[in-house]
């Protein structure tokens, strides 16, 4: 995961696609669990896979669907939180978020990034 940029670049080259056609889906600890956010650019916020993509492509200007996983309790390290399994009571919330992320990806393909943002970034989109 920390070398995701290599794989993204290889796929882009193989499929001959440019940045406007790239959409990266990834977890985000700064978003509450179960929510998603569609973004057009931004930093990595400490996400090593996203940092690798930014470094490899030389830009942060690519579409993203961020899937919220929340932060661990204070004092708990982030790595086991990100790589661990969800608690059984969290699974339905995360499954719903994954479905929303898939729908956002479909909207990106069929309607474009701005439309996907308009549809999925509304606060009342529950």
90 lies in some domain? yes
Q: What is the pLDDT of residue 71?
A: 87
102 lies in some domain? yes
71 lies in some domain? yes
Structural domain harbouring 11? 4-120
126 lies in some domain? no
Over the stretch 14-40, which tens digit does the pLDDT of each residue have? 999 999 999 999 999 999 999 999 999
Over the stretch 74-100, which tens digit does the pLDDT of each residue have? 888 888 888 888 889 889 999 999 999
Query: In whole angstroms, how far apart are CA 108 and each of 41, 43, 112?
Result: 14, 20, 4
125 lies in some domain? no
What's 30's domain CATH number? 3.40.50.1470
Q: How many domains does the chain have?
A: 1
Q: 16: phi > 0 → left, psi -120 to 50 → alpha, else beta; which? A: left
The candidate with the shortest Cα–Cα distance to 100, out of 4, 28, 25, 19, is 25
Mean pLDDT of 41-68: 96
């Amino acid at each position: 995961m920390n070398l995701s940029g290599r794989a993204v670049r290889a796929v882009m080259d193989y499929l001959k696609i440019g940045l406007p056609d790239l959409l990266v889906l990834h977890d985000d600890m700064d978003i509450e669990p179960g929510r998603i956010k569609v973004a057009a650019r931004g930093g990595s916020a400490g996400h090593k896979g996203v940092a690798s993509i930014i470094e490899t492509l030389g830009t942060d200007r690519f579409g993203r669907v961020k899937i919220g996983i929340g932060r661990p309790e204070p004092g708990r390290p982030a790595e086991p939180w990100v790589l661990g399994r969800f608690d059984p009571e969290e699974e339905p919330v995360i499954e719903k978020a994954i479905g929303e992320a898939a729908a956002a990806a479909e909207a990106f393909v069929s309607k474009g990034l701005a439309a996907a943002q308009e549809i999925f970034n509304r606060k009342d989109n529950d």
